[in-house]
Structure 1
Amino acid sequence: MWFVASALLALASSAGAAEAAPIKLLAFGDSLTAGYGVAPEAAYPVKLQAALKSKGYDVQVINAGVSGDTTAGGLARLDWALGDKPDYALVELGANDALRGLDPAAARANLDRILTGLEQAKVKVLLMGMLAPRNWGADYQQHFDKIFPDLAAQHHVPLYPFFLDGVALDPKLNQPDMLHPLAAGVDVIVARTLPAIQQLLGPPGSAPS
């Protein structure tokens, strides 16, 4: 009887450990996600994880940001990123396409394939929108800015309209290049994106569906 009771206790403990595994949130992006120019502890995924934990979420935010990545670069490494078996993903790509004036149609196609790949892997997504620099002209701006709401509607995923909302072009919140946020800017991004991410995850303690 003692052996049976011990075995049952071990099984129960094992099941409890499995239930207690943190949900995995993949932060899939470029230098804005990776934390270019700030200390590792000030990177967006690190600060986001701390903010979510303060709200009661048992979550691991995986930093899958690569500085300089375009949407094509993100697509090329999607399978590698999925090796972490995420439950959810934030897709933050497109800024480098816009900065380089790359064809919006190509960026749209790459993001379309990224969202399709995540969908096939049963990963729930929040799409982080980006806006084109105004120096490329109204035509480029119109075609680029439409990418994100169009794809969010097409793939039935939620959209955060502009990842740098509240931070873009503010010298107090950006590094000298005026492209990458300072730690204070990262704090603003975390605070502003947090409600949309909580909506993606559901209430604390809920299992990924």
Structure 2
Amino acid sequence: MMVPFRSLLACLCSVILLCAPAMGRVPEPSPAEQCLAANEGLSLGAALPRTAGILKNGAPLRVVAIGSSSTVGLWMTREEDTYPGVMRRELVRLVPSLQVEIFNAGRNGDTIPGNIARFDRDVFAHHPDLVIWQIGGNDFTWGEEAASLMQKIASGIALLRAQGIDVILMDQQYTPVILGTQYAKMQGAIATVVREHQVAYLPRFDMLHKAVQSGVSIMSLTSLDGLHMSGEAYDCVGRALARAIVAGVK
């Protein structure tokens, strides 16, 4: 049976009117984008002289990311979705001529002393220009004095700097499980070392906290285990770190 032209035209007009609001709607920014917006202009707070020289001269940049499961990128199925992988992609986007090689030396469950014990094999063997040292998530600080924590962190920084390597410290993640611990003791120890030793610092805990304060759901930045970061949080951290490195050099 033939549909009258006027009826068909009326149906088409109705469909267009129903779809028009959706077609004109601006997509909601992803949690990663909102996290980046909440942390726009982030500074690492200290110079990276070796990295700056390399980026200005166009030489290859070698980076080692060492830490625990946050560096491994637990629950991410692809290396490029971990924070070191995201950071590499963003660095190349920002500086297209840059040749950068990143070695992921994360180990699930590792601690500050465990990281330091691996420096010879997993850091110095790669002859890096820059090391990003993610610490704090697995160090049980309940019975340990803050001075002891600071001494451990400072000793690791001294070992890295003795090799002429630029260092960026990265602290704990802002997730429900971490918030249920005595996280403040570790955060305080890291902040004191950063201040006293003038170390470049990515304040991951505060970054993700700011994102939550800006309206991002903490669960969108957290994996299902309540401890590790989600893909959105890895994306935010990796891109924010790359942007801060490049901004610091410029």
Displacement after TM superposition at 1:199 (Å): 4.2
CA 1:102–1:22: 2 relative to 1, 3 Å = farther
Structure 2: distance between partners of 1:84 and 1:102: 35
Which one is further off, 25-34 or 166-175?
A: 166-175
Matches within 5 A, 1:1-209: 22-41=60-79, 42-56=81-95, 57-80=98-121, 81-98=123-140, 101=142, 103=144, 104-130=146-172, 133-136=178-181, 140-163=182-205, 165-166=207-208, 170-199=218-247, 202-203=249-250
- Partners of 1:148 and 1:161 within 8 A in 2: no
Greater length-normalized contact order (CA 8 Å, ≥ 6 residues apart): 2
Structure 2: distance between partners of 1:77 and 1:66: 10
Displacement after TM superposition at 1:40 (Å): 2.6
- Partners of 2:90 and 2:243 within 8 A in 1: no
- Partners of 1:94 and 1:107 within 8 A in 2: no
Displacement after TM superposition at 1:194 (Å): 2.6
Q: Describe the superposition over 1:107-134 as per-residue Cα deviations: whole angstroms up to 9, x where unpaired.
A: 3222111100011010011111337944
Structure 1: distance between partners of 2:60 and 2:231: 26
SS in 1 for 2:226: coil
Matched residue type, 1:177:
D
Displacement after TM superposition at 1:177 (Å): 1.0
Displacement after TM superposition at 1:49 (Å): 0.6
SS in 2 for 1:82: helix
Identity %: 24
Which one is further off, 66-75 or 183-192?
A: 183-192
Displacement after TM superposition at 1:21 (Å): 5.3
Structure 1: distance between partners of 2:68 and 2:243: 22
Structure 2: distance between partners of 1:92 and 1:102: 22
Structure 2 residue runs without a partner (length 5+): 1-56
Q: Describe the superposition over 1:43-72 as per-residue Cα deviations: whole angstroms up to 9, x where unpaired.
A: 111111111111113211211111111111
User: Structure 1-normalised TM-score?
Assistant: 0.75
Structure 1 residue runs without a partner (length 5+): 1-18, 204-209
CA 1:29–1:129: 2 relative to 1, 3 Å = same
SS in 2 for 1:126: strand
User: Structure 2-normalised TM-score?
Assistant: 0.64
Q: Describe the superposition over 1:110-165 as per-residue Cα deviations: whole angstroms up to 9, x where unpaired.
A: 211110001101001111133794444xxx55532221121112222222223572
Displacement after TM superposition at 1:182 (Å): 2.2
- Partners of 2:173 and 2:228 within 8 A in 1: no
State the structure with more CA Rg.
2
- Partners of 2:131 and 2:166 within 8 A in 1: yes
Q: How many residues align?
A: 180
CA 1:60–1:125: 2 relative to 1, 3 Å = same
CA 1:153–1:35: 2 relative to 1, 3 Å = same
